[in-house]
Structure 1
Amino acid sequence: MTDVMLFLKEFARTRRDTGAIAPSSPLLARALTRYVIPSPGRPRAVLEVGPGTGAVTRYIQPALGPLDTLELIEPNPRFTDLLRHTYRDDSRIGLLPGLVQDHELGSYDTIVCGLPFANFEAPVVEEILGQLLASLNPGGTLSFFAYAGVPPLRRALTSGETRERTLGTQAVLERTLRRHRFRTETVLWNVPPAHVHHLALVAPAPAPALAYSA
């Protein structure tokens, strides 16, 4: 079975967890790995969350130096088996099955995330993004994508509790982007088109000085 066929089969079986309707296109993969940048003389730690069939991993592996490491966290056992077989001969790549929330993460220079945040409830999104941002080394980056046009479409097509959940999730994403985003790329040649958001740790703004009157 090809990677694409496996992906489509898993999408049909576990649509909510798989999220994407097709593996990431080469252009989307390049945008997501924009900041997997070689750093001669210093080992780098890279994390990919939700690699699926490895469409983005294939762009990370060639950018790794001999002392660099790449951890993959994948909850789908079928994708995990595929990844384990594909990268079994590369000692730089480690595989952690299960949910990212269930793992104690290390510190990373670059994090690439392919999780379908739009499908998750707000507390889960907030927990995962907080966990990933807290795992960044100083100067590190977190990159993830969202399908273009999906937020207004979801708001228009949902109602009741489903709409409230959608609005809650979008509020968490927007709040996180306002504080941490430093760049967004739009990838039109993807199914569907997507926005790639690049985030970095930002120190909280200093509290304003209080004025006291006599």
Structure 2
Amino acid sequence: MTQVAMTDVTLFLREFARTRRDTGAIAPSSPLLARALTRYVIPSPGRARAVLEVGPGTGAVTRRVRASLGALDTLDLVEANPRFAELLHRDYGGDERVRLLTGLVQEHELGSYDTIVCGLPFANFEAGTVEDIFGRLLAALRPGGTLSFFAYAGMPPLRRVFTTGGARERTLAVQAVVGRTLDRHRFRTETVLGNLPPAHVHHLAPVAPLLAYAG
């Protein structure tokens, strides 16, 4: 492992311990998970593509996205954690194709994108926040665009079993929002065993043209 990669992992683990609810993941995405999440970031020579990554963290997936960018393509990164944002600025601030937006995705007016990759820990949010974010991201897709996100395999039933009271109600409400979104928009799911922990990657596409999201 390179010194830079080791530094990224150390930062990730430190932030997970400090802001577990916001960070969500317990380790950076593996190369196999990154490959699945970027399945539809497809090069298109001669045509400008716009890509959005929400919650890039230390950039484990970003590195793969950037490697696929052509000269005319653009990549927007939305990162709420200021320490992760500082790291991303260090790594990508000199690339004119990459724009870094700090803060919550709900705080920004998004453009329109061919591909959106999302690494947010939806299971840690309130149901209304999850519904809001999905609405914004799906509405930001161009015709034929895709939204890809992941969830850890086996976690939903564990959360239902080991949470009680208000936490259980919140868990069930969030899982209901995610379930409805998948039922309506999912066209493919991949299981990635080579990740810590194993994960399901869901690929979505709007079932019909969506109006501009009003929040």
> Do these two structures clear the TM 0.5 threshold for a shared fold by scoring above it?
yes
Amino acid at match of 2:189: T
Counterpart of 1:107 in structure 2 is 112
Specify the SS of the correspondent of 2:168. Answer: helix
| Secondary structure of 2:58's aligned partner | coil
For the aligned residue pairs, the C-alpha RMSD in angstroms reads 0.9
Q: 2:166 aligns with which of 145, 161, 165?
A: 161
Q: CA deviation at 1:107?
A: 0.2
2:74 is aligned to 69
**Percent identical:** 78
1:51 deviation in Å? Answer: 0.1
- Supply the AA of the counterpart residue of 2:173: G
Which digits, 9 at most, give the CA deviation of each residue in 1:138-195, with x for residues without a partner?
0000000000000000000011111000000000000000000000000001000000
Deviations 1:28-72 (A, max 9, x none): 000000000011211000000000000000100010010000000
Number of residue pairs aligned between Structure 1 and Structure 2: 204
In our comparison, the structure showing a higher alpha carbon Rg is 1
- Among candidates 120, 137, 140, match of residue 125 of structure 2: 120
Counterpart of 1:56 in structure 2: which amino acid?
V
Equivalent in 59, 83, 87 of residue 88 of structure 2? 83
Partner-residue secondary structure (3-state), 2:143: strand
Rounded Cα–Cα distance in structure 2 between residues aligned with 1:139 and 1:101: 23
Tell me how far apart the structure 2 counterparts of residues 160 and 90 of structure 1 sit (CA, whole Å). Answer: 48
Separation in structure 1 between the aligned mates of residue 164 and residue 75 of structure 2, nearest angstrom: 41
- For 1:14-33, what per-residue CA distance to the aligned partner results, in whole angstroms no more than 9, with x for missing partners? 00000000000000000000
1:13 and 2:22 correspond: no
Please name the residue that 1:181 is paired with: 186
Structure 2 unaligned regions, length at least 5: 1-5, 210-215
